[in-house]
Amino acid sequence: MTEIRNVAVFGAGVMGASIAAHVANAGIKVRLLDIAKTDGPSRSTIAIAAVDRLLKMQPAPLMHRRNAELITPGNIDDDIAGIADCDWIIEAIVERVDLKRTLYEKIERARRPGSVVSSNTSTIPLATLVETMPDSFAADFLITHFFNPPRYLRLLEVTAGARTRKDAVETISRFADLRLGKTVVRCKDTPGFIGNRIGIYWLQCSVLHAMEAGLTVEEADAVLGRPMGVPKTGVFGLLDMVGLDLMPHVLGSMAASLPKEDPFHAVFREPALIKKMIAEGYTGRKGKGGFYRLKPDDPGKAREAIDLTSGAYRATRKAALASVAQARKRGLRRPVRADRPARHRLVRGSPPRRRPAGARSSAERERAKILSDRVRAAPALHRRRRLSRRRPAGRRPAARRHQAPQAARGPQPLGEPVGHRRRRPVPRISQQDELTQSAIPADGR
């Protein structure tokens, strides 16, 4: 089994740079390559700028800023020969089959035989990508689909083809598990694999329904966020993080790969607002903003959200929805069941379970026992604390050893001896105080 010592990543976009950062977090040297720039100070300007952005991105893709030193930026035209030293080559460019195949031909000429090549594609089947490639390339090729942001989302989808050798899959799966901390899921070679086969359809439906229902972006994200078990970014916040300019390619790839009778085709359309945002450079966090943005030329960096009807930005406002408030208290079941008749709340016709009056659940009995034990232990704990505050015999307190003479201190208050220090009374420990001191060990130390 090959050991992964050096890695190359093609594509210095948000995803490619974040993958390179997470590999660097494991202490592995990475080459980050993108197209050559002819009108800048360096032909590797794109990759260099991507490494600089890694130091500013939030959430931080690098575990420590010094990990950026393990990433070597370059360009495909001048530096592709360097991948001959790499054991794993990751492609993370735009979702276009023609561009990927052109890049694979360049990689095949420059790589070392036996090195593993993988694609970070989220929608294109593996068989389509290697259809025109020789067996020598297809045997070392697989799909490793990271989720954004790679450092924080543990899932990694791994897909092998009919010609992929088994030890290549085992090598990458083992490295991803032990060095990158990933939960590896083996997927079949189908469009969108597992996560995006569901996620892209879900995102597209959510965007279209939010626009048709006249919801604000805050309301849509509040509903389709934490109450649904989704990160608080919700729908529109997630699209901002992924990049709006990526979605047309992803949607087009899914539409081209799925059969005509698939339900995805019923929602496959790009709203005019999103087309306009992409054309004007509002591609999400990597651009001038997206559905959310920071107000330009505002020193306070006020946050704004776009109006889905007019396309104008306005100050963000908190979504005030009763269903979301109920979900915070009792989860998704509360808003779903709140408006349903009582006869429909039963499961398979069984009557509701009722607890006899005065009966307590096992959890309540356990809490009561713990509370009773703490209350009984309170006097002993109180005595131990008083004893621990006493000074050894014959030793003066530090405050008095360094006090000035009485003449220098001036007259003392009437009724108090010289050098007297009033001791703070030890409060009695109430039952409520015992609950707040649960972290204190039983011996009082």
From residue 221, alpha-carbon distances to 59, 301, 302, 305 in Å are 19, 21, 19, 12
Pairs from 108-111 (Cβ < 8 Å, separation ≥ 24):
108/133, 108/134, 108/136, 108/137, 110/80, 110/81, 110/83, 110/84, 111/83, 111/84, 111/86
β-pairing, 71-75 vs 88-91, is unpaired
Span 235-274, pLDDT tens digits: 999 899 888 988 888 898 889 889 999 999 999 998 999 9
Pairs from 203-208 (Cβ < 8 Å, separation ≥ 24):
203/235, 203/238, 203/239, 204/251, 204/264, 204/267, 204/268, 205/267, 206/235, 207/235, 207/236, 207/239, 207/271, 207/274, 208/267, 208/269, 208/271
CA 53 to chain CA centroid, Å, is 18
| Bridge partners (DSSP) listed for residue 292 | 305
Helix (H) or strand (E) holding 278: helix 272-279
Span 129-168, pLDDT tens digits: 999 999 999 999 999 999 988 999 899 999 999 999 999 9
Span 96-122, pLDDT tens digits: 999 999 999 999 999 999 999 999 998
CATH class of 195-315: mainly alpha
> Has residue 339 got a pLDDT over 70?
no
From residue 51, alpha-carbon distances to 10, 190, 225, 244, 360 in Å are 13, 33, 31, 21, 58
Q: Domain residue spans in the chain?
A: 6-186, 195-315
DSSP symbol at 350: P
The two structure tokens encoding residue 223: 């509903």
Burial of 69: CB neighbours in 10 Å, binned 0-12, 13-18, 19+: exposed
Residue found by looking up tokens 């939960």 in the block: 183
* CATH tag for 6-186 (out of 3.30.465.10, 3.10.20.30, 3.40.50.720, 3.50.50.60): 3.40.50.720
Query: pLDDT confidence of 208, banded at 50, 70, 90?
Result: very high
Q: Could you tell me which residue, 363 or 31, shows the higher pLDDT?
A: 31
Taking residue 95's Cβ as centre, other Cβ atoms within 10 Å add up to: 21
Query: pLDDT confidence of 419, banded at 50, 70, 90?
Result: very low
- Please indicate whether the domains covering 6-186 and 195-315 agree at the CATH topology level: no
